[in-house]
Amino acid sequence: MENTEEILRKRIDNNNYEKLLEINNPELYSFVAKYIELCNPRSVFISNSSPEDIDYIRRKAIENHEEEHLRTPGHTIHFDAYGDQGRDKAHTKILLEKGETLDEFIVTGEREENLLEINSILKDIMNEREMFVCFFTLAPENSIFSIHCVQITDSPYVAHSENILYRQGYGEFVRLGKDARFFKFVHSQGELDERFVCKNLDKRRIYIDLKEETVYSTNTQYGGNTIGLKKLAMRLAISRCAKEGWLTEHMLIMGVHGPQGRVTYFTGAFPSLCGKTSTAMLEGESIVGDDIAYIKNKNGFAFAANVEKGMFGIIQGVNSKDDPIQWKTLHTPGEIIFSNVLVTEDGSVYWIGHDGDVPERGYNHSGEWFKGKKDSKGNEIPPSHPNARFTLPLESLDNIDPNLNNPEGVLVGGFIYGGRDSDTWVPVCESFDWEHGIIMKGASIESETTAATLGKEGVREFNPMSNLDFLSIPIAKYITINLEFGKNLAKPPKIFGVNYFLKGADGNFLNEKNDKKVWLKWMDLRVHDEVTAIKTPIGYIPHYKDLKELFEKVLYKDYSYDDYVKQFQIRVPENLSKVERIKSIYLKIKDTPVRVFEVLEEEKERLIKASQRFGDYILPEKFI
């Protein structure tokens, strides 16, 4: 067999070979050579992160028909194959050695067996194609948060997306040389049909090898399966941080602007469709990140950094009234990739929830589209896919925080956990302490499904820290790491639970969409001990007078005491039911920390005592 140097010299032209050689890292050479030989591309392009190389990838995405120009300068459209427009959970596996196990919630596969399979799929898969080798840094470069990555792909769309979403890393690889420790990603879209989308979806595989910190992805173009540095890298990072004592969280990072120009930074975890992006994008506040945070202990305080520099966002429902910042950016010239939306005859785009009337016709992921078009099963095809996306640089948003690329990260004042909950949690509640917050707010997240998008309505899905889909370690270990992280801080961030979806007896929401602005301002005041709070069995809730003042100041509206009582009464039966549900789940999870059950039991006892004294539905004033 040829050695690494011979393979690289033979298969890479001089210009690209010299760019690779600038990085003095034998492990990198071996990795690139291995997959050149296995995937057998026609040519190899090494990106050195220069504007010229980034532009080359952008142009190749057009030339290869993975993207097309739209009417607005800088905007392009990408389509995925019908049936390849979401994460493939069944074929996304954590690879484990024989004898290793994870919780039943986590899809796993036997490492040796699945590596043999993925290598057989990768054999000659890039024949007659160009291989792109790109370098990135997760989190700000040259910081305590930095993780370096190398991406191999035959899709310029994937490379283009990652150039928007992640910080360039070639210079860091050159600087570090042999000391570079990096995640590895191998992707091929496989054989394409006449629409230049994946043909062999039956061979779609997404495998995460924790041992070699490598992700494999084949026969798919959808970003969630192919943009390896996103949720796939998140599994690798969770595994790494579990060994090193820091946190990788499915969290937004935002700055809440308080009195006298103060900015307090919060992280926040919300399951899908629970208000995460709308919270991160609130007018008047500033966004550091909308999706993934690395959180580390620095001199006894929690600091967080955004893993990304861009946004891969769900576009359904984005409109000018509710999402003015996103709306403005999506209609301004600049680099944006739209995926699986409708393209109209004049080259503009439309998606479900867009302002204005639905166009009569256009083309989308199903091909030529018209109102009433149905698929092979007789189901009507909407103008855009429910999981249609946009990819854009965060710096194109008006509310971007100046600390986006700060290598020091931002000091975290509070953690926020939220879910879709119609009958139990109050709109905002502060935990008693770190331990209570991690267990009762974070590890107890449930989110109700909605009939409109997820099938049967009202089913409560357990999702600790909103991170269940991305765990690569046992749930019990994950919770333990979160508990221990706070114990090692001189001043842990305050922890809050929020609920934007509480309903009244008539079935209508008790909150309005913009009320979250007030809850955030109250949390900011609590972080700085500038308002007192009412101690209840479930944590600290706001005084009416403080919320009334904030509603007038922030939203210019009167907040009635009747609304306050409906929103902040303690619903004892519902809270007790939740405690029992969560307890029953953790009883089935191996090695759950004993402290989880103790904190659940303590909450139960407080609720029962309060009920015995005040009844099942308790007004806030009873606890004053």
The CA distance from 605 to 254, in Å, is 35
DSSP element (H, E) containing 75: strand 75-78
Which residues contact residue 176 at a Cβ distance below 8 angstroms, ignoring those fewer than 6 apart?
A: 25, 148
In the block, tokens 């910081």 appear at: 143
Measured distance CA(223)–CA(143) in Å, rounded: 27
- Tell me the DSSP string of 258-326: -GGG-EEEEEEE--TTSSHHHHHT-TTSEEEESS-EEEEEETTEEEEEES-SEEEEE-TT--TTT-HHH
Structure-derived torsion over alpha carbons of residues 556, 562, 566, 567, reported in degrees to the nearest 10? 20
Q: Is 331 helix (H, G, I), strand (E, B) or coil?
A: coil
Cα angle 304, 310, 313 (rounded to 5 degrees) comes to 105
The pairing of beta strand 263-269 with beta strand 410-418: parallel
Quote the CA–CA distance of 180 and 433 in Å, as a whole number.
39
Q: How many CB atoms lie within 10 A of CB 300?
A: 10
274 is catalytic: yes
Given the residues 39, 134, 241, 274, the one annotated as active site: 274
How many whole angstroms separate alpha carbon 373 and alpha carbon 225? 28
CA dihedral 52, 58, 59, 61 (to 10 degrees): 150
* C-beta contacts of 108-115 below 8 A and 24+ residues apart: 109/207, 111/209, 111/211, 114/207, 115/207, 115/209
Q: For residues 188 and 312, what is the distance between their CA atoms, to the nearest angstrom?
A: 20
By C-alpha distance, which of 324, 304, 332 is closest to 399?
324
| DSSP β-ladder status, 43-46 and 130-138 | parallel
User: What are 417's two structure tokens?
Assistant: 């956990």
For 62, the token pair is: 């057009």
Bridge partners, residue 314, by sequence: 389
Helix (H) or strand (E) holding 540: strand 539-541
Is residue 340 within 8 A of residue 363, CB to CB? The reply is: no
Catalytic sites, residue numbers = 274
